[in-house]
Structure 1
């Protein structure tokens, strides 16, 4: 019985010669059609911004010509704002179809600054490119589908027009019979195949100037990140200095004064022993009370640095202790597993403690809620109260210090406190778990 050799040198088991391409599958054609449809959607959107770029280019030329006579200097600020508006429109369009393009900082408003600004020069270059290339590609992109549809439907309408108008889209010959009409229809199908092949490339080419000229220069993200880290490091050092000053004041104004009083009372009691033992006993009792008060204040200062309950038990237990000592009724809803870095737990404790203190002092709230969750490597804190609202970070309520402590850990803080309440403070702390 004969056998077929399906080796690469003699053909394939399905009968196709070796190296022959696979026949197109129906779903491949549909995928290409969908890709082409998306590409034409991009091209049509680019046609809109290309028209804006063309108008902007003409206005830039007019403003530049007017500057030669001095009149255009009054037009420069408005022209630069219009330029930024048009380019931001293109950035938004490109960001919807691909990686996000982040715009630069607010641009200059004077001619000399604009000439020296690299971002503005790149935007002007994009306007020139997109006004020409984007408009041309947009016109071609709108013409090709109409051409394909017109030629494909040629047998349906060629007899309804004058004989001189019965020509295909390229207009090379005049159709006089049905075979010629169906030949034009095949040409329309060919145009459709061309559309499937060139539409994605046209969309890419139309978007290329925008992605090339409107994107931030290389290294911008790194520079921004370095600036953020520099700011958070400064905030961390500032928060550390503030905390040291707070501890120093607590020790100097409280514990130190108590110890001085204890020393004075003990000295007085020593002098009174020989004269009046009863007075000496009273002085020693007062000295003991002062020493106990100093010890209590010293414990409070130590707990404010790093509460022992955080090390001995858990963050949930520490927050429950804060809630129990808060003058405003407070509910703790903590759903966290495991332990976190000591700096993270200490910052979370500080945020909750300071916020509950502010609620008790300023909010006139009747109830507060603290919610703690761990999601996506972040420890999320949400503190709400039903008070009068109107909390302001610049009002000296300690919110600025809370923000510095949170940002020192590369976290984020969000405050919503409309007049009349409620007030919601949300903090997110990276915890790496």
Structure 2
């Protein structure tokens, strides 16, 4: 596997340890915030604003990375911010401070995403992009298996010690900072000589100058994102079906394990038979899962659906970025991916609000079936309107 270069391994390990830190806190974040006086509404506002800042900053810093021709400074700063934000939440409990710390964490993700994915693309060839992005996604998602497992183990022995968990989460975050110092890159030429300062929304200008294939692909992906709400709704569905808290968390860990184990092999397969084929197969699995969620069943039924859901995620998340990097110019990779992921973050936030409204007014059955129908329409659109990104499809 000579295509897995030193840089790819480093980026993947950095993502692994960072995700361990983040996913350790994911199950306890709402509980901790409520324990220090935050209402559910305030928590929702906090998360919404933080995610919006992260989403918009992905496009801005992606554009800035392309304009300067640098990747590693953005990667180091992004992972560094996310690492130091974890213990900050445990130091003080003032709402303004918590908002600042949480925003710093999400801003770190926004700073690093475009540059990191562009560096991954630079390390790959057209024939290996699927497996490179798949390998990185596999390592990243393994953190979502290890993190919650460590959290469950820690809380079993030290119940209620939430603040200690935020301090402990700094350890893998610190390791990510140290590993990022070993990253090297061949500094590319800036896209423009003496280019003007990058405006915050300048990345949106890329939409006008981007290839037609990019606009068609991203348009379809964003429509899909508008119906692809938070995984919280899937967990809520199985919780309402009568599964215990431990069973619900166990299924969530099982989903991430399938995701992590399948992402790399599916990336290899995508390089062999075509990125588009694997991506569309993944979306069809999504349709099956959401249609299946509208049917009441046993824990085995829901575990089977989450197995398919893990395969869907493995077949789409890394593959979509590989596809985008294949149909755009190398000098615009960070901008192209940053623009997509930025708009995707905003659409994800809107999707959760919309799904919650439909669920409240019309019930879970309507919410899940409507999502499945829209996703199927997107599959048909991508199949007909968006060309395959490579010749081996």
Structure 2 length-normalised TM: 0.23
The structure showing larger relative contact order (alpha-carbon pairs under 8 Å, at least 6 residues apart) is: 2
Q: Which has the higher helix share?
A: 2
Q: Which has the higher strand share?
A: 1
Structure 1 length-normalised TM: 0.22
Q: Which has the larger radius of gyration?
A: 1
